[in-house]
Amino acid sequence: EANDRVRFGANIGVSRLEYDRIGQDNNTWAPLTTSYLQVPWVEPTDANGAWVNTGFLANVVGIEATSVFKNITRRTTGNFYTEIEIIDNLKFKTDVGVDLGQVEETTRNPDVFSPGGSGYKGIWQDNKWLVTNTLNYQKAITEEHYLSILVGHSYERLNIEIIQVEGTGFVSDQLPNVNSASTPSLTNAEGTGWGIESFISRLNYSYLDKYLFEGSFRRDGSSRFGTNNRYGNFWAVSGGWIISEETFFTDVSFIDMLKLKASYGVAGNDQIGNFSSLGLYGAGTIPDYNGNAGIRPSNPPNPDLTWEETNQMDISLSGAFLKNKLRMDVSYYIKDTKGLLLDVPIPYLTGFTSRTANIGEIRNSGIDISLSGDIVESDDLLISTTLNLGFLKNEVTSLPEDNLDEAGRAFVGGSASQRAVEGYGINEFYLIRYKGINPATGEAEWLDANGEVTSSPVAADRKLLGSAIPKLTGSFRGTVKYKDFDFGVLFTFVNGNKVFLGDLRFTDNPNNYDFFNLSTRLLDTWEQPGDNSYAPAFTATTFSTFAQRSSQQLFDGSYIRFKNISFGYNLPKSMLEKISVNNARVYLMGQNVWTFASDLWDFGVEPEINGGASNAQVQGESFFTAPMPKTITVGVNLSF
């Protein structure tokens, strides 16, 4: 505090994380993938104990022992502000935030696994900064009226720079750096970035501390959109009524607080590629043309690309009961999103397969419930619990009519297994229905579009078979505090979603018996009439099509996960006073302790799978996704 009207503040955080990485899902250099698919008679070493190259399915034991897969992440975050009280009740604040990140990735494979040896180094510089200036006026006009007004401007910028080098052909495996490679195979330097400018305002008013009103308006501009559509206007209004403050409520002794709130507003989304609106050119994978430097079109322009907008209405009721021992919050919401930012197919004559565009509308509606309570509360003991439930219905309400499926419904493709369909969810699985093995013939059977049994289904027989989006998500948290000790548990759960296991198209494919290790389920093969088997007869005409993409690989994605357990101890104040420490807590924590997934866990599959990474059009698909690791953490929290 410089004086009564001027304050300065700052906080800085520095971190360095080093990872010894391994291959992940959808990777034949990944331990999980190879442990499933590698045939059991393949050895990682020869008779002399030397590592051997096992081909397409990599020798992950040897790779772990001899290769380098190092990832180092360095990050510095900081926030600096100056606040000046210009006159009574009116404050000006300047806030500058920075987030400086660097990722350094190094790989080095020896000659036995990459003939001649290979090396790679990549460095990503990710620098983000945010400047916000606000004027804030707060005043209790009278004992009955309170007013707060805020106006401001902010600018956020992210710059990314990437340098990558790779080479092959090393004289010795002892030479670690790419500079020692005889043949450069990759030299890449590129940059990207985005920026957002915002003008913001907010008004708060309360009357008698029981009638509440808030209104906000903001104008945001994103560099990701075309110059004609870069800015969008977004606003919200809300009102609250603290019912328990009314005089007619004074005789209701068991209710301590009851509040009704309603709101409506419009929000924007710009989560797409940094240059999706522009016609781009690039060198591509072949940076020359007939021996000369050349470029080619790499992205089709869309100057009309603009903000995806969501209109949301919320109604909520909050309450506290029995001297605040029980607390409740129930909310109902409807979110209508229009101008969805989706990848849309375009004619091949354009030279491209798709482009990002604003198409369609979607509605998300649901109920969120939070219940918490202090079951036991005394001077030495506190036992409290919290239950959160979220019920969601997702529906695509409108799509362009120029892309129709076999049933005449508008759709946008997401993957080979799912799509967004008008009148259904945005992540609906669209697959052939698998019936089973005919006990009389040993042939695999499916259902055609009319529900008739067939041994030769076609693409037109596909049906919508459920969504990758859960209908219910929730969590349960329990906490026990006894004197200076504390204990906590957290369970999470989902229900009502489907998951597609692409892994089974390999492990349960009898055609792969010459190439991969297969599931023991294929030992249950049809041999004679009357057999109720898992796999068709070796002589069946459907032997080669048995593992085709169908509902055979589709499962219930519901699960319950013991997410977290922790034990802590707060050191006594008398001990801390001697070392000038205000608080000190030592703790032991376990994460992802146990998981139950009714169908999935029979296959050893991680239930919290995405499959689409950042692509909202592909969710709930797995291809040898490793389970989330069990983590044990020991730590100390200190405050001075």
Which region among 341-345, 404-408, 516-520 has the lowest average model confidence (pLDDT)? 341-345
The angle formed by the CA atoms of residues 375, 377 and 383, to the nearest 5 degrees, is: 50
- Tell me how far apart the alpha carbons of residues 556 and 598 are, in angstroms, rounded to a whole number: 8
The angle formed by the CA atoms of residues 449, 452 and 455, to the nearest 5 degrees, is: 95
pLDDT of 599 over the 70 cut: no
pLDDT at 318: 97
Arithmetic mean of pLDDT, 217-231: 93
- Name the nearest CA neighbour of 510 among 552, 482, 477, 474: 552
pLDDT at 249: 83
Tell me the backbone φ, ψ of residue 42, rounded to 5 degrees.
-80, 130
pLDDT of 506 over the 70 cut: yes
- Tell me how far apart the alpha carbons of residues 9 and 439 are, in angstroms, rounded to a whole number: 76
- Tell me how far apart the alpha carbons of residues 587 and 566 are, in angstroms, rounded to a whole number: 7
* Contact call for residues 605 and 501 (beta carbons, < 8 A): yes
* Average pLDDT score over the chain: 92
pLDDT tens, position by position, 551-588 = 999 999 999 999 999 999 998 887 877 777 888 999 99
pLDDT tens, position by position, 94-146 = 999 999 999 999 999 999 999 999 999 999 999 999 999 999 999 999 989 99
- Name the nearest CA neighbour of 62 among 70, 54, 71, 74: 54
pLDDT at 216: 98
pLDDT of 363 over the 60 cut: yes
- Tell me how far apart the alpha carbons of residues 333 and 315 are, in angstroms, rounded to a whole number: 6
Where does 63-117 show beta strands of DSSP type E?
A: 68-87, 90-109
- Tell me how far apart the alpha carbons of residues 520 and 604 are, in angstroms, rounded to a whole number: 14
Where is 411: in which H helix or E strand? Answer: strand 411-413
Q: Which residue has the tokens 């809300």?
A: 238
* Contact call for residues 373 and 384 (beta carbons, < 8 A): yes
DSSP 43-56: -SB-TTS-B---TT
Arithmetic mean of pLDDT, 187-193: 93
Task: Grade residue 298 by pLDDT with cuts at 50, 70 and 90.
Answer: confident
* Contact call for residues 445 and 435 (beta carbons, < 8 A): yes
* Contact call for residues 169 and 182 (beta carbons, < 8 A): yes
Task: Grade residue 253 by pLDDT with cuts at 50, 70 and 90.
Answer: confident
- Tell me how far apart the alpha carbons of residues 372 and 351 are, in angstroms, rounded to a whole number: 57
pLDDT of 605 over the 80 cut: no
Q: How far is CA 5 from the centre of its chain?
A: 43
Tell me the backbone φ, ψ of residue 551, rounded to 5 degrees.
-70, -10
Q: How far is CA 57 from the centre of its chain?
A: 29
pLDDT at 285: 54
What is the largest distance, in Å, between two alpha-carbon atoms of the chain?
Answer: 93
Task: Grade residue 184 by pLDDT with cuts at 50, 70 and 90.
Answer: very high
Tell me the backbone φ, ψ of residue 484, rounded to 5 degrees.
-95, 5
pLDDT tens, position by position, 441-477 = 999 999 999 999 999 999 999 999 999 999 999 999 9
User: Model's pTM, two decimal places?
Assistant: 0.87
Tell me the backbone φ, ψ of residue 338, rounded to 5 degrees.
-125, 160
- Per DSSP, 323 falls in state T
pLDDT at 288: 62
- Tell me how far apart the alpha carbons of residues 614 and 341 are, in angstroms, rounded to a whole number: 13
